[in-house]
Amino acid sequence: MKKIILVADDSPSIRKFVSFALAMKGFEIISAADGMEALEKLPDKQISLVITDLNMPNLDGFELIKSMRSNDQFKDIPIIILSSLAGSDEIQKGMEIGANSYLIKPFDPKRIVYEVSKYLN
């Protein structure tokens, strides 16, 4: 059975790009345009991993991670931050609130495949 990855990003091209990189490796991808939509989609399927942007409307990536980590159902799901924010403050904050990895845009698709495989294989 294919493992399902939820990609939350307000940029359609980035969602497509991540899907492009991971679908080739046999993962099923579900997309969300912001943190709120991601939270709504999380219970729908057995999500194995979440890749999230930080700057998103309605509910940003930090809030999404906080919500997930405070929910027993989702607290153990690995989370990879994928953001153009490259400041040490954001990285520290992201890791402190519970992200597992932090990738900076523009990113190498091979790297995202590597990070996902690290948690799912």
Partner 1 sequence: MKQVSNMSDLFERLNDLKVVFRYGQKLIPIIQSIIDFMKETVPLLEDINTSIADSTNKIPKAKDQITNVTSATELATTEILDIADSISIDLDKIEKELKLLQENETKKKELWVKIKDLLKDNDGSGQLVEEYEQLDNSIAVMANFQKVFDKIKNDVYNITLSLQVQDITSQQLAAVNHLIESVRQRLSSLVMHLDETELSNMELVKIDSPDNSTFNPEAVYTKSQEKQDMADSLVNSNSSKASQDEIDKLFS
Distance between CA atoms of residues 47 and 43, nearest Å? 8
Residue 81: strand, helix, or coil? strand
- β-pairing verdict for 101-104 and 79-83: parallel
* Only segment of 20-28, 43-51, 68-76 that touches partner 1 (CB under 8 A): 20-28
Whether residue 57 has a cis bond before it, omega within 30° of 0:
no
Q: Does residue 105 touch partner 1 according to CB under 8 A?
A: yes
* Only segment of 11-19, 25-33, 37-45, 66-74 that touches partner 1 (CB under 8 A): 11-19
CB-nearer residue toward partner 1: 45 or 118 = 118
Distance between CA atoms of residues 53 and 102, nearest Å? 10
Number of residues that bind partner 1 (CB under 8 A): 35
Q: Does residue 86 touch partner 1 according to CB under 8 A?
A: yes
* Spacing of C-alpha 14 from chain mean position: 12
Q: Rule CB under 8 A: which residues touch partner 1? A: 10-14, 16-17, 20-21, 23-24, 55-58, 60, 83-86, 88, 91-92, 95-96, 101-109, 111
